[in-house]
Each structure stands twice: as structure tokens, then as C-alpha cells.
Amino acid sequence: MIKPLEAPKRFLFGPGPSPVHPRVYEAMRQPIVGHLDPYFFQVSEEIRGWLKMCFGTKNEFTMVVSGTGSAGMECAVTNFVEPGAKVAIFANGYFSDRLAEMARRHGAEIVRFEKPWGETYTDSEAAALIAAEKPRVAAFVHAETSTGAHQPGHAICKAAHDVGALVIADCVTSLGGMPVEVDEAGIDIAYSGTQKALGCPPGLAPITCSPRALEWLRRRKAPSVSWYLDLKLLLEYYQSGHRYHHTAPISMFYALREALAVIAEEGLEACWARHKRNHEKFVAGLQEMGIEMLVAEGHRLWTLSTPRVPEGINELNARQRLMAEHGIEIAGGFGPLAGKVFRIGTMGYGSSENNIELLLGALKDVLKAEGYSGQAA
């Protein structure tokens, strides 16, 4: 006899996947229906409605693509970046680099604006950079998970629209946990993933496109090089003809439906407020321990915090001890931030007052065991 699978229970406080609500697990064990079954499209319609709410948009063109957040990113790029198009990247972390790499592979001419990891662009910087380069597409990361920095999109979008450019925004770590404001900011294409602030397992990528973006897409002559992520084909499956394109991962749709129902029941604004409150409580606790934050106040994500690793502490040892002694998973910095910061996610179902206390207590223990004796200055 082979024993049935039995996965360990971890406390997931890394940059994703985040803890999953019991209701979502429950939904995932429901019987699947066919991918052309009316019940499936009913679930898909519920998802679309709640995603519009989370994105802050009226965009009719709001749906999910099969795959993780990176599939959402690649979907945005493959549909809206044509070979030879000038694409401006607001670089300030790892995920803007990934966007740039995808656009490069699609034959774009890349213009990179550079900021140190952990910093963001001011409105006037964003406007001046766009006005100088006049790109066809501008892309930025709304919630940069490699640094913990929040880049608002309003000024980028306004400047981009002034030069006729489309704007792509990566909202993977903000959707559900912070305001995204697609319509108010004027974002043309926003995508996300399910396993961060939505509190669902990884597997689907929500995406929304403005009427402007859609108009551009309709006029686009050559089809996107990706067949699987071709939004025109996906649109026929999900929204108009329900014509077979690929077999949707049914159980993931159930999961996302339930995760969004949980958010809708709490109320989206209450959900944001919970993320903010718990994030602030966490930061206050860290500061009491004498630990500083990488990102300046007012520019921090409510979903993921990046405290600096205290002087004399080995970041990897501390994380390993946290896992071994407390079963808690957090992440370290990488790239220019390797060894310098922790990346600690408190998002979705994981963002609770209890969890903040658990995290602070465990961090205190671990850092002390690693030789940290610091306290608030």
C-alpha cells in the first residue's frame, strides 16, 4: 500500500504562495464539471464580476488566463507588444526586469528607466521620462515583491496617454490587498496572480484590459506570437462564443471563485484596511526591536514588508532557524538586496493580528538566538 499524500502544514509568510482559506480548500474538492458546462461559465462570470471589483474597473474585458502570475505578465506582453515597438520599463526591482526580458523576447526596443531597488518614481520623474522617450508601451510594477515598494500608476498613465502609449501594470502582489484603481489611474492592462493577496493556490492569472487597449488589439494585424495566451482567442472562449480554446483548470476556478467570495463577504475596503492595519502593526513591532525598513514610509506595500537584516546577523541562518524551530517560511532579498533584507508576506488569509504576533515573537526568538541584541534606538 502506498500511503496517501500528506503535506506538512507550514506558516507561509514568504512573498507567495500565501496561506489558503479553509473555504477555498473546500471548494477545490468539489466535483469538476466539463469546461463547456454552463455551471463552469456561471463560476467564471462570478469570478469576472468580483475581479472587476478588486481591480477597481468597469472593463468588460476582465478575466483569468490559465497559468501563474507570470502567464498574466506574458499575456500582457505578447498581446500588446509588437516587434519593433518601443517599450519603456520603469525598472526598480526584479519583476520589472522580468517584464523587460519578456518584451525583449517579443522583439521590442527596450528603454529602461533606472531606480535603485526599493525606490519608486515620483510623478514628475515619470512624466518627464515618458515625454522624453515617447514609447508605444510603458510598463511598471505596482507592487514590487522583490523590494516591498509600491509604485502608484496615475502619473505614468497620464503621461503615457499624452503620447498615445498603452500602460501595462503588474498588480500581482497588490490585487485584493491594496487599492489597484485601474480605471481611476488609467491603467490599460493590469494582471495579477492568485497566490498572493487573493489567498488562493497558484494557478490562474487575472487580467483586465481597458476599452482603449481592446481597440488597439482589434486593430492589431499580426496575431500575437503566443497561441495559448492570445486574448482574442481567449475572449471567444470565456466571453462570446464559449468556443473551445483549451481545457480550463476547473478546480482552480472553484478556488478563485471561493477566494473572491471570501473577500466580497468581508468587503473589499475592509480587506484592504485589514492588510494595512496588520502591516503597520508588524512594522511598529519590528521598529520596537530596533529593525529598520528598506522602503520609506508611505511607499510600502501592505502585503509584503522588507525589514533590513540587522548588522551581524546572517540572513540565511536566521531564515533556516525560523523554519526549523517555528515552521515559518519567509524569504530573503536577492539581486542587489541579497543578504540585506527579509521579505515577509502578510497577505490574504495570512494577514491577521494573530499572525503578526506569531511572526514578531518568532523573529525575536530567532534573532536573539543568532546573536542579535539590538533594540529601539
Ligand X SMILES: *Cc1c(COP(=O)(O)O)cnc(C)c1O
Residues near ligand X (CB under 6 A) are 15-16, 68-70, 73, 95, 141, 143, 145, 170, 172-173, 193, 202
C-alpha cell at 33: 464539471
CB of 76 to ligand X, least distance (A): 11
Q: Cβ(193)–Cβ(205) under 8 Å? A: yes
Nearer to ligand X, 102 or 367 (CB): 102
Q: Which residue is nearest to ligand X (CB)?
A: 69
Distance CA 169, CA 147 (A): 16
Distance CA 21, CA 35 (A): 25
Distance from chain centroid for Cα 237 = 25
Nearer to ligand X, 204 or 293 (CB): 204
Question: In a 3-state reduction of DSSP, which class is residue 329?
Answer: strand
CB of 320 to ligand X, least distance (A): 22
Question: In a 3-state reduction of DSSP, which class is residue 119?
Answer: coil
Per DSSP, what are the bridge partners of residue 329?
Answer: 12
CB of 193 to ligand X, least distance (A): 4
Per DSSP, what are the bridge partners of residue 64?
Answer: 206
CB of 251 to ligand X, least distance (A): 17
Q: Cβ(48)–Cβ(62) under 8 Å? A: yes
Nearer to ligand X, 70 or 239 (CB): 70
Distance CA 307, CA 111 (A): 31
CB of 219 to ligand X, least distance (A): 28
CB of 191 to ligand X, least distance (A): 8
Distance CA 303, CA 316 (A): 22
Nearer to ligand X, 209 or 366 (CB): 209
Treating both helix axes as pointing N-terminal to C-terminal, what angle do 69-80 and 94-105 enclose, rounded to 10 degrees? 40
CB of 163 to ligand X, least distance (A): 25
C-alpha cell at 24: 477555498
CB of 297 to ligand X, least distance (A): 21
Nearer to ligand X, 198 or 262 (CB): 198
Distance CA 309, CA 224 (A): 44
Length of the chain: 377
Nearer to ligand X, 114 or 265 (CB): 114
Helix, strand, coil percent content, the chain, rounded in steps of 5 = 45, 15, 40
Nearer to ligand X, 152 or 310 (CB): 152
Nearer to ligand X, 62 or 92 (CB): 92
